[in-house]
Structure 1
Amino acid sequence: MSTATIYLRQSEDKTGEAAAVSRQLAECREFCAAKGWTVRDVFEDNDRSATSGKARPAFDALLDSKPQRIVVWHIDRLVRVTRDLERVIDLGVNVHAVKSGHIDLSNPAGRATARTVTAWSTYEGEQKAIRQKSANRQRAQNGRVLWTRRPFGFDRDGANVHVVKSEAAEIRKAARKVLKGSTMAAIVADWNARGITTTTGGRWSVTTLRRVLLSPRMTGRAVSVGIDYGKQLPVILDDDTADRLRATLTDPRRKSAPSTTTKHLLSGLVLCGRDGCDNAPMFATSNAQGLMIYRCRTCYGGRSMERVDEVVQGTVVGILSRPDAAVLFHAPVDVNALREEVVTLRDRRDGLAELLALGLMAREAVKDSAQRLTSQIADLERKIDAANGASPVARVLGAEDVAAAYGALSLMDKREVIRTLMTVRILPVGKGVRFRPEHVDMTPRGQK
């Protein structure tokens, strides 16, 4: 009995209804019936590319099934790259295509024809990719941004992009929470609990949320193949917020924190002052006796968390209780000048990519410079916040009871106050030395 095995494939199924493969199947069955062949098996790879390099389960199953002959709608449904064609040739069976005829793989001429057809399919795919990139670049230059998957926060009517208000509101709230010290994990848990989904209906993860918050699209920038074409889209986050957000989310101390939720005042904020540790952050943990300490993960040195917190918070309250504190922190500030400085630093940071591309700076040097500029921008933003009364420091200054006002702040606001006022380091001491306040170095912010 003569049998045939049908293979079906469609690269992209936008509707999810597999209409294209259904049409292929109908024509392939009709073709087999006309030849008098009995259809033994049907293998289907719907919504699967033949050029991406990703696995095609049905294609692999087809090869394992030892077919007598293969029937496809067109040869490019079966193979589009040479490596797959060679696997089919190794079977030693013939391939019959409804739209492109019979390819006899049992002789050199047939195999040469098949290789030529496949080579042209590969060429066509590569040319299509080039044309697509060029078209995307031109659309970005003209302010027309299209996408195959709707990004969270945006939608479009034709080529006109607009903001989805409810999603944009969630993005802005998430940004504010991160800047106040909330973790990404906490925000993700909240979104998932409230049924907020990705644009594909999936659940959020820290990675997907981070990708959204750091996307240049949030500030209205159109980026195609790594090239920034400037402000072309509606804005969800202003540049200042986006810069502070990027500084926060790319802070190495935040990335190395061992827990998903900050529970202790100085965990990840206090630094190790030992030579060779390069100001490594210290994190809250318990020692062998069960006491909470701040420990360096480089030298493993540690100091009592309770004692360090007591010294630092006492110093903070003392600074903010000074009669001249309001003058110190409310000194006349030219906010516009600070913003201009932020813009200058941002431009310098953006220019690093061009220096790297031209080979004028090494990758590590660019990375170090970018981190330094980002830190300077974050410091300036804190000064702007303080001048505008947005800093938690401003909420404590001038209070009738500074200690009570500071004590009423949230943990994250207390951390922000400390971060604004000083850099805290725990100095190295000999083993077994009793804790003394002078073991904690508190350098005013902006000094070394």
Structure 2
Amino acid sequence: MKSLIVREYLRVSKDSKGTGKSPDQQHDENVNAFDRQGWLLHPDPPYRDTDRSASRFARRGREDFKRLITDLEEDTFDADVLAIWESSRGSRRVGEWVDLVELCKERTVCIWVTTHGRLYDPSNARDRRSLLEDAVDAEYESDKSSERIQRDVRAAAEGGRPHGKNIYGYHRVYDQKTGELERIEPHPEQGPIVQEAARRILEGQSFYAVAKDFNERGVERRRPTRKQHRSNLGWTAPAVKQMLTMPAYAGKRQHRGEILGHVEAMWPALIDFDTWLKLQVIMSPPERKRTNDWPARYLLTGIAVCGVCGAPARIGKQNAGRRKDKVTGEPLPKPVDEHGNELPYPHYNSYVCVGVPGKTGFHVAMRQEHLDEVVTGLLLARLARPDFLTGGGEPGKDTDAERQAVLAKIAGYQKYLDDVRMEAAEKLRFDLLLDQEARIQPKIKAAQKRLEQLSEMDPLVLRLVQGGAILRGWDALELADKRRVIRAVVTPRINRVGPDSKGQRGINRDRVDPIWR
């Protein structure tokens, strides 16, 4: 009797340290169980989702779970057994679990649950019932946990207790024995920074001036960032403003965007409430309407970012003429027009890092037409990929399997029409082609509409991709729409010129890293 081949699905909901320890422990226990059963582990790495919830409240999708479903649907799973450590690691959604069980039944794949020490056969009615009962229990427990968390959050808000991470400017003190939160005190270094920022804005200073001074003094930024291209950004004007809009600094508890005026927070105010209200009026006066609807002049201003500090790029003028003689070093005269009037030196536009307030100079610059050409090429190549539309989905829903099915349906319709065209050309039966196109094209449009419903992408991006001729569609867009498409798909990062590229003329494509969304 041949040994069964097993593939694992490993998952953990929270992995704040990023070590993947829990999935590794699941794998070790699974392998021990496989050895006892005499089964063989599939040579490919396990399906693995780290720091991913499986409940209906999850905010992020599970990439490898989607890959598992796709492999089962396309019959490329290539194993006899799907192994999970416990049922809830597979899913905490009944519908999702039912789909998985049905797919395993169709592909004659058994399900091994390590904590049960049991192999389930989805084609067996009793085994299938047991698996589905586990799914109902897992979803019930997930819903109970969610309700309990919401009650705890409401209770904490009404009691003036904090929720979530520690707020900049404060320090939490815990009981050394019980680990319970005892009190929240002003942070000896951060608290005065908050108060100083509030005082200076009330005095009429700008957010930029405050950020610049903080950076020059080496004041540590409010929040760390996981985005590598923004890790050196430091204090910015928006960061100062956002900090001072928080009612927590006025000793007020906020819940779901509402300030609970009747609740006294358990931490002291760094800014008294009346002063904080006055500060809000100064920062965002009611008569000031922020529209930001001026027409853009360049493709990537404010979109491309510096690869050193993460700051956005603006347009700057670079001198294209020679100011000094190469031999003598003497200044050269400015060019003149036909009347002898001096003209400015020739120049060209470059995208330039705006820098960080208080940090001298900029870090990178790249010629405008060069960066525009590189980013446009990368973007259009990305949009033309056959799998581009499978990257997004309805928030909170596992829709990848349906998207794949819709894409396959569209491809099938298009292949059928191609075959009909060939047959019509051979038989000179163009009436046949017209008849079939009239029948099939509505089906293609309906499938494309469903694909759009399943996607999180900007509708403008979808229309561009589904239009077929992406390059022609791109060329027809207005500049504002091109910027909208770029923002939705990619953040271009401009890096410094490498030592091997100094003095290089022409486009240096290696300097641009696309950060895909």
TM-score, normalising length from structure 2? 0.45
Q: Describe the superposition over 1:242-297 as per-residue Cα deviations: whole angstroms up to 9, x where unpaired.
A: 102222333355451759xxxxxxxxxxxxxxxxxxxxxxxxxxxxxxxxxxxxxx
In the aligned structure 2, how far is the partner of 1:62 from the partner of 1:70? 10
Retained in 1: the 8 A contact 2:184–2:266?
no
Q: Which residue of 2 aligns with 1:126?
A: 143
Q: Which residue of 2 aligns with 1:42?
A: 46
In the aligned structure 2, how far is the partner of 1:205 from the partner of 1:112? 57
Q: Which amino acid aligns with 1:250?
A: S
User: Which ranges of 4 or more aligned residues in structure 1 deviate by more than 6 Å?
Assistant: none
In the aligned structure 2, how far is the partner of 1:119 from the partner of 1:205? 48
Retained in 1: the 8 A contact 2:198–2:244?
yes
Quick one: structure 1 residues 53 and 254, their matched pair in 2 at CA, closer, same or farther if it must change by over 3 Å? same
Q: Which residue of 1 aligns with 2:405?
A: none
Q: Which residue of 1 aligns with 2:279?
A: 245
* Aligned pair partner of 2:32 in 26, 30, 33: 30
Q: Which residue of 2 aligns with 1:377?
A: none
* Aligned pair partner of 2:221 in 190, 197, 205: 197
In the aligned structure 2, how far is the partner of 1:247 from the partner of 1:16? 42
Retained in 1: the 8 A contact 2:83–2:111?
yes
* Aligned pair partner of 2:60 in 48, 54, 61: 54
In the aligned structure 2, how far is the partner of 1:83 from the partner of 1:189? 53
Quick one: structure 1 residues 210 and 6, their matched pair in 2 at CA, closer, same or farther if it must change by over 3 Å? farther
Q: Which residue of 2 aligns with 1:292?
A: none
User: Secondary structure, in 3 states, of the residue corresponding to 1:155?
Assistant: strand
In the aligned structure 1, how far is the partner of 2:41 from the partner of 2:240? 48
Q: Which residue of 2 aligns with 1:73?
A: 85
Matches within 5 A, 1:155-194: 155-158=171-174, 159=181, 160-184=183-207, 187=210, 194=218
Retained in 2: the 8 A contact 1:71–1:97?
yes
User: Secondary structure, in 3 states, of the residue corresponding to 2:189?
Assistant: helix
In the aligned structure 1, how far is the partner of 2:128 from the partner of 2:208? 55
- How many residue pairs are counted as aligned between the two chains? 259
Q: Describe the superposition over 1:28-80 as per-residue Cα deviations: whole angstroms up to 9, x where unpaired.
A: 11122222222223122221111214211222223334432211111111101
Unmatched 5+ stretches in structure 2: 175-180, 294-517
In the aligned structure 1, how far is the partner of 2:238 from the partner of 2:122? 47
Q: Which amino acid aligns with 1:49?
A: S
User: Secondary structure, in 3 states, of the residue corresponding to 1:165?
Assistant: coil
Q: Which residue of 1 aligns with 2:165?
A: 149
Quick one: structure 1 residues 141 and 257, their matched pair in 2 at CA, closer, same or farther if it must change by over 3 Å? closer
In the aligned structure 1, how far is the partner of 2:212 from the partner of 2:289? 19
In the TM superposition, residue 190 of structure 1 has moved relative to its aligned partner by 5.7
Higher relative contact order (CA 8 A, sep 6+): 2
Retained in 2: the 8 A contact 1:12–1:48?
yes
Retained in 2: the 8 A contact 1:12–1:46?
yes
Retained in 2: the 8 A contact 1:175–1:213?
yes
Unmatched 5+ stretches in structure 1: 260-448
Q: Which residue of 1 aligns with 2:512?
A: none
In the TM superposition, residue 191 of structure 1 has moved relative to its aligned partner by 5.1
In the TM superposition, residue 99 of structure 1 has moved relative to its aligned partner by 0.9
In the aligned structure 1, how far is the partner of 2:240 from the partner of 2:122? 50
Q: Which amino acid aligns with 1:81?
A: R
Taking only the aligned residue pairs, the percentage that are identical comes to 22
User: Secondary structure, in 3 states, of the residue corresponding to 1:77?
Assistant: helix
Q: Which residue of 2 aligns with 1:102?
A: 119
In the aligned structure 2, how far is the partner of 1:216 from the partner of 1:119? 41
Q: Which residue of 2 aligns with 1:214?
A: 245
Q: Which residue of 2 aligns with 1:135?
A: 152
Matches within 5 A, 1:15-414: 15-40=17-42, 41-51=45-55, 52-65=58-71, 66-67=76-77, 68=79, 69-92=81-104, 93-100=109-116, 101-143=118-160, 145-158=161-174, 159=181, 160-184=183-207, 187=210, 194=218, 196-201=220-225, 209-225=240-256, 226=258, 228=260, 229-254=263-288, 256=290, 258=292
RMSD of Structure 2 on Structure 1 (CA)? 3.1
In the aligned structure 2, how far is the partner of 1:50 from the partner of 1:192? 42
Retained in 1: the 8 A contact 2:252–2:259?
no
User: Secondary structure, in 3 states, of the residue corresponding to 1:113?
Assistant: helix
Quick one: structure 1 residues 200 and 3, their matched pair in 2 at CA, closer, same or farther if it must change by over 3 Å? farther
User: Secondary structure, in 3 states, of the residue corresponding to 1:221?
Assistant: coil
Quick one: structure 1 residues 73 and 192, their matched pair in 2 at CA, closer, same or farther if it must change by over 3 Å? farther
In the TM superposition, residue 109 of structure 1 has moved relative to its aligned partner by 4.0
Retained in 1: the 8 A contact 2:153–2:163?
no
Quick one: structure 1 residues 254 and 17, their matched pair in 2 at CA, closer, same or farther if it must change by over 3 Å? farther
In the aligned structure 2, how far is the partner of 1:182 from the partner of 1:128? 47
Retained in 1: the 8 A contact 2:12–2:22?
yes
User: Secondary structure, in 3 states, of the residue corresponding to 1:152?
Assistant: coil
In the TM superposition, residue 161 of structure 1 has moved relative to its aligned partner by 1.4
In the TM superposition, residue 27 of structure 1 has moved relative to its aligned partner by 0.7
In the TM superposition, residue 186 of structure 1 has moved relative to its aligned partner by 5.7
